[in-house]
């Protein structure tokens, strides 16, 4: 067990240089973007002198290394700069918008796992049957329909035709009051405040975009679960377990499923990363005030500070995510701690 | 045995498999009985249906397999029509099974102790409260030292032999009455094989169990089983006592198997069918050494200090000579052979090939050395050493394309010539590895190794994965090639009986050092070192071997 703890510590220590690298890359990346923020700031009527003045005010006339150290110092003190387009500190923008995206993505993934994993297991234990075919159809449909299309179809059916869903305009209908900011997740904050009416309102808003994303992420998870279960079920140790007379449930869950979980977790990590980055479209369709749409808007107007803040936040999120996946892996698979020792 | 009631009885058992190419009759009417306290061996080569028979009686056939006829009875229970729930109660409690490849047979991410507990709890032999104690007891029963700590181990932390003990512990945890051992020692070292088989045999006697030992090794079956059933193509061709099968086999197939089993006192030609026994070719050995190893070391950085894989080896191989390198896994024989074929750098020492030191050339650069063609290797697992997307022709042609000046048409001619040399029908050259049989793959591997007319060939257990009758043919092929082409061999193996057939001299290695070396016959008949004696004793000793012993038996 101490070996595993050491492995976890090792992984955490490994994350530090990655984070340093990310700070450097996010700085350089935004400098490499085309467009001059000083010109944008100065407005269309500015002359050379006022642009130069603004450039000095923004610190853009200094050399790159100097700019970097100023930036790094600011990052350390928690100052990510001021967004040009929203006029707010980037940090507070991110603090508002990141939870919105995370809430959507995590709900979608939970939903997706809740359907995909049992479906994959069922398909693997009954290959060639109706369940298996159903799984294949659902998976193909989910992956071949683009999210903005499923999103629009869902809105059309459930909001326009059936009138079950609320209007797709953000995280909460205007009749509810936003819960006090604790975590930024409306579901959690409303639950903490004990405001169940708001909670239900938030769920209603969340359900359609979450289903849209879940349908899209269903495919890789269900496919991987099915494949991993099939290979686990055909392995020698399953034969041993069956030859020892273990019950089918024991064989399926304690023996096969735990082994099959390893590739599924890897896939889950990958799916999470690309969903977080790719849910801009869903955010746009449902007017969701998420981080994806924020970044796109900032990018269009060369909003350095906002883009930098976004890149940094995403990178940190991915580092944290990979760390969590590594740790989950270490906890499930005893062989991992052994290899790094 | 008299009127003992049989515990297990198979009558006219038939098993079919539905495949894409239609129905395959894997077992075609097998009848056999296992009496109480009896150990029955089922011997046959791959594809004989011996494993399928045992899976059928456990009702654990792979997908697509069905019992299509016959009767299966275990102690009055009809196994053929028993409900699945009844079968689950029987498995592990009444009938248990142990498997080949023990490491894969254990759940890789579950503590071995818990895996034993699962079985105990399933069959109500332990409760949550005493499961741990009972599991440790089961570990002790298979003679595992330090059972309390081993309980916490995962399979990857244990050696192959230890894993097999765990598999046995799982199988025997609930005191079954019948044990089925499916190739229990394939892939294990010869000394481990003996330890595991002795343990199984002891436990069977101790607990008054019956057993069915399924193996391709007639010698092993003969040593441990009272009665042997020989199977071929899904049918029983002969059954009888081990003694009788060896001394006077009735069926020609049994005779062929007996003949092909490597054993003391026979030449490599005698492994073949009588009509194939051509006279032994003459080999010429030149006195000057072709390869000389001086004080060779290989040290790895280990978790706790350096590991001396090879520790000061010195030996010489003459031109045209065949030298055997014998030892258990971990003795450094594979490391040595890798260094000799220049796939691995040595830490210290000289490898003189025709007087020039090869150890001075880094292994990475040796691929471009002109002497690369002179030193070649035949790998242990033919399947794994081939690119599955290459045809046999491409596999054999690869070294020619890289290292010989031949053009395309000359290469094609050379490949045909090589196929002819190793006895591979030219028509098979355009097949992919998975379309070839084990023996054919071995021939392709040999053809590839000799394509560049090497002077020195390292053979790393080239027949370990082959059936005995195919092994006999491949060994003879190697003898012929050596005489025809004048190649020197270094034959790496753990099986002294095989090495003896092919080698003039034998080097016995243990823990990275040579413990004994000398002429093969001398080492086989009067070994000096106790370790050599252990190795020799560990090899299965069929009851009746040489002709004089056969006479003595009468």
- Does the reported pTM lie above 0.80? yes
pLDDT of B5? 67
Q: Which of residues A323 and B116 earns the better pLDDT score?
A: B116
Q: Return the percentage of chain A with pLDDT > 90, whole number.
A: 15
Q: Is residue B6 part of a domain?
A: no
For residues B468 and B230, the answer to whether their CB atoms sit within 8 Å is no
pLDDT of A339? 47
Q: Does residue B211 belong to the interface with chain A, where contact is any CB pair within 8 Å?
A: no
Q: Is B12 helix (H, G, I), strand (E, B) or coil?
A: strand
- pLDDT at residue B3 is higher than 70: no
Query: How far, in Å, are B120, B286, B308, B343, B351 from residue B356 at the CA level?
Result: 63, 18, 25, 17, 8
Q: Is A187 helix (H, G, I), strand (E, B) or coil?
A: helix
- pLDDT at residue B538 is higher than 60: yes
Nearest CA in chain B to A236: B105
pLDDT of B179? 94
Q: Is residue B449 part of a domain?
A: yes
Q: Is B347 helix (H, G, I), strand (E, B) or coil?
A: coil
Mean pLDDT computed over B16-26? 86
- pLDDT at residue A1 is higher than 60: no
Enter the DSSP assignment of B426. Answer: G
Q: Which chain B residues touch A251 with a CB distance below 8 Å?
A: none
Q: Does residue A302 belong to the interface with chain B, where contact is any CB pair within 8 Å?
A: no
| Spatial CB neighbours of B182, under 8 Å, sequence gap ≥ 6 | B51, B54, B97, B98, B99, B100, B214
Mean pLDDT computed over B459-471? 86
Mean pLDDT computed over A229-236? 91
Closest-CA distance of chain A to residue B27, Å: 20
Cβ of A239 and B167 within 8 Å?
no
Mean pLDDT computed over B523-531? 90
Q: Cα torsion for B254, B256, B262, B263, to the nearest 10°? A: 60
User: Testing the interface with A: which of B59, B63, B86, B109 to mutate, by most A Cβ within 10 A?
Assistant: B109
> How many interchain CB pairs under 8 A, A with B?
80
pLDDT of A340? 43
* Domain A88-300: top CATH class: mainly alpha
The band of A240, judged by pLDDT with boundaries at 50, 70 and 90, is very high
Instruction: Determine the length of chain B.
Output: 554
**pLDDT per residue as tens digits for the range A44-54:** 777 888 888 87
Q: Does residue B93 belong to the interface with chain A, where contact is any CB pair within 8 Å?
A: yes
Cβ of A258 and B109 within 8 Å?
yes
Q: Which of A239, A244, A258 sits opposite B92 (nearest CB)?
A: A244
- pLDDT at residue B551 is higher than 60: no
Q: Which of residues B393 and B21 earns the better pLDDT score?
A: B393
Q: Is residue B24 part of a domain?
A: no
Q: Is the CA virtual torsion B281, B422, B220, B332 positive or negative?
A: positive
Mean pLDDT computed over B476-502? 89
Q: Return the percentage of chain B with pLDDT > 70, whole number.
A: 97
The band of A238, judged by pLDDT with boundaries at 50, 70 and 90, is very high
Q: Is residue B511 part of a domain?
A: yes
Q: How deeply is B296 buried, as exposed, middle or buried, from its count of CB atoms within 10 A (0-12, 13-18, 19+)? A: buried
Question: What's the mean pLDDT when you consider all of chain B?
Answer: 88
ipTM: 0.80
The band of B544, judged by pLDDT with boundaries at 50, 70 and 90, is low
Q: Is residue B335 part of a domain?
A: yes
Mean pLDDT computed over B365-389? 88
CATH of the domain at B388: 3.40.50.300
Enter the DSSP assignment of B280. Answer: P
Q: How far apart are the first and last CA of chain B?
A: 21
**How many domains would you assign to chain B?**
1
Q: Which of residues B321 and A41 earns the better pLDDT score?
A: B321
Give residues 117 to 156 of B whose Cβ lies within 8 Å of A.
Answer: 118-119, 122-123, 154, 156
Closest-CA distance of chain A to residue B60, Å: 7
Q: Which chain B residues touch A247 with a CB distance below 8 Å?
A: 88, 122
pLDDT of B455? 92
Q: Is residue B277 part of a domain?
A: no
Q: Is residue B176 part of a domain?
A: no
Domain range list for chain A? 1-85+334-341, 88-300
pLDDT of B445? 93
Cβ of B60 and A243 within 8 Å?
yes
Name the residue with tokens 């249906």.
Answer: B49
Neighbours of B146 (CB within 10 A): 10
Q: Is residue B410 part of a domain?
A: yes
Q: Return the percentage of chain A with pLDDT > 70, whole number.
A: 96
Domain that holds residue B479: 292-541
**pLDDT per residue as tens digits for the range B225-264:** 989 999 999 999 999 988 888 888 899 999 888 888 887 7
């Amino acid at each position: 067990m101490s070996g595993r703890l050491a492995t976890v510590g090792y992984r955490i220590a490994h994350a530090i240089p990655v984070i340093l690298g990310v700070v450097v890359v996010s700085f350089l990346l935004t400098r490499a973007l085309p467009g001059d923020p000083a010109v944008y700031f100065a407005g269309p009527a500015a002359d050379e002198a006022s642009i130069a003045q603004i450039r000095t005010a923004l610190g853009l006339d200094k050399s790159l290394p100097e700019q970097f150290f100023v930036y790094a110092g600011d990052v350390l003190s928690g100052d990510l700069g001021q967004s040009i387009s929203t006029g707010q500190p980037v940090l507070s923008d991110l603090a508002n918008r990141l939870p919105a995206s995370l809430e959507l993505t995590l709900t979608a993934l939970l939903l997706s796992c809740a359907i995909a994993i049992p479906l994959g297991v069922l398909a693997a234990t009954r290959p060639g049957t109706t369940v298996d075919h159903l799984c294949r159809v659902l998976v193909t449909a989910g992956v071949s329909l683009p999210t903005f299309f499923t999103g629009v179809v869902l809105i059309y059916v459930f909001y326009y035709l059936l009138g079950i869903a609320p209007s797709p305009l953000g995280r909460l209908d205007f009749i509810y009051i936003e819960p006090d900011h604790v975590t930024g997740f409306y579901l959690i904050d409303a639950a903490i405040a004990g405001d169940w009416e708001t909670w239900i309102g938030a769920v209603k808003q969340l359900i359609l975009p979450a289903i849209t994303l879940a349908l899209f992420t269903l495919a890789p998870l269900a496919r991987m679960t099915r494949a991993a279960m099939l290979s686990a079920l055909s392995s020698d140790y399953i034969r041993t377990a069956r030859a020892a007379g273990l019950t089918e449930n024991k064989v399926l869950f304690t023996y096969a499923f735990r082994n099959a979980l390893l590739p599924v977790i890897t896939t889950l990590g990958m799916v999470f990363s690309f969903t977080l980055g790719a849910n801009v479209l869903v955010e746009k369709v449902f007017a969701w005030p998420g981080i994806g749409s924020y970044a796109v808007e900032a990018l269009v107007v060369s909003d350095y500070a906002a883009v930098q803040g976004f890149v940094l936040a995403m990178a940190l999120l991915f580092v944290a995510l990979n760390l969590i996946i590594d740790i989950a892996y270490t906890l499930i698979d005893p062989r991992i701690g052994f290899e790094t020792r | 045995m008299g009127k003992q009631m049989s515990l297990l009885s198979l009558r006219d058992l038939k098993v079919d498999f539905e495949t894409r190419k239609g129905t395959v009759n894997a077992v075609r009417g097998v009848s056999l009985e296992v009496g109480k306290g009896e150990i029955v061996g089922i011997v046959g080569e791959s594809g004989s249906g011996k494993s399928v028979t045992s899976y059928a009686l456990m009702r654990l056939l792979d997908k697509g397999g069905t019992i299509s006829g016959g009767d299966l009875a275990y102690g009055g229970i009809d196994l053929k029509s028993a409900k699945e729930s009844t079968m689950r109660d029987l498995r592990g409690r009444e009938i248990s099974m142990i498997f080949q490849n023990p490491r894969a047979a254990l759940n890789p991410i579950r503590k071995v102790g818990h895996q034993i507990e699962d079985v105990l709890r399933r069959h109500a032999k332990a409760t949550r409260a005493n499961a741990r104690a009972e599991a440790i007891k089961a570990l002790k029963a298979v003679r595992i030292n330090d059972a309390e700590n081993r309980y916490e181990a995962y399979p990857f932390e244990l050696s192959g032999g230890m894993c097999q003990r765990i598999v046995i512990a799982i199988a025997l945890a609930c005191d079954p009455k019948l044990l089925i051992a499916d190739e229990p020692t394939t892939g294990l070292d010869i000394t481990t094989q003996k330890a595991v088989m002795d343990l199984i045999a002891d436990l069977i006697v101790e607990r008054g169990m019956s057993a069915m030992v399924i193996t391709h090794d007639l010698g092993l079956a003969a040593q441990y089983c009272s009665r042997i059933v020989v199977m071929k193509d899904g049918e029983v061709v002969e059954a009888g006592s081990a003694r009788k099968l060896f001394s006077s086999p009735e069926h020609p197939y049994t005779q062929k198997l007996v003949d092909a089993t490597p054993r003391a006192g026979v030449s490599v030609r005698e492994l073949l069918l009588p009509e194939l026994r051509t006279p032994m070719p003459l080999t010429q050995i030149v006195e000057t050494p072709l390869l000389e190893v001086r004080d060779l070391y290989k040290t790895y950085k280990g978790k706790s200090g350096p590991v001396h894989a090879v520790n000061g080896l010195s030996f010489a191989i003459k031109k045209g000579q065949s030298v055997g390198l014998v030892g258990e896994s971990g003795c450094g024989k594979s490391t040595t052979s890798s260094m000799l074929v220049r796939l691995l750098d040595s830490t210290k020492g000289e490898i003189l090939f025709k007087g020039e030191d090869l150890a001075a050339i880094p292994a990475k650069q040796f691929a471009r050395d002109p002497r690369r063609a002179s030193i070649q290797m035949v790998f242990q697992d033919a399947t794994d050493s081939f690119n599955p997307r290459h045809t046999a022709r491409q596999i054999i042609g690869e070294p020619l394309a890289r290292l010989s000046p031949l053009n395309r048409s000359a290469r094609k001619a050379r490949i045909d010539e090589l196929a002819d040399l190793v006895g591979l029908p030219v028509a098979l050259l355009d097949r992919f590895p998975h379309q070839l049989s084990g023996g054919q793959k071995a021939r392709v591997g040999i053809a590839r190794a000799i394509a560049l007319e090497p002077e020195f060939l390292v053979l790393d257990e080239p027949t370990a994965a082959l059936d005995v009758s195919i092994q006999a043919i491949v060994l003879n092929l190697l003898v012929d090639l050596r005489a025809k082409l004048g190649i020197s061999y270094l034959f790496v193996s753990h099986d002294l009986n095989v090495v003896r057939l092919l080698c003039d001299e034998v080097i016995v290695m243990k823990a990275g050092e040579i413990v004994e070396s000398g002429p093969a016959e001398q080492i086989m008949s009067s070994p000096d070192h106790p370790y050599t004696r252990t190795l020799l004793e560990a090899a299965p000793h069929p009851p009746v071997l040489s002709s004089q012993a056969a006479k003595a038996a009468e």
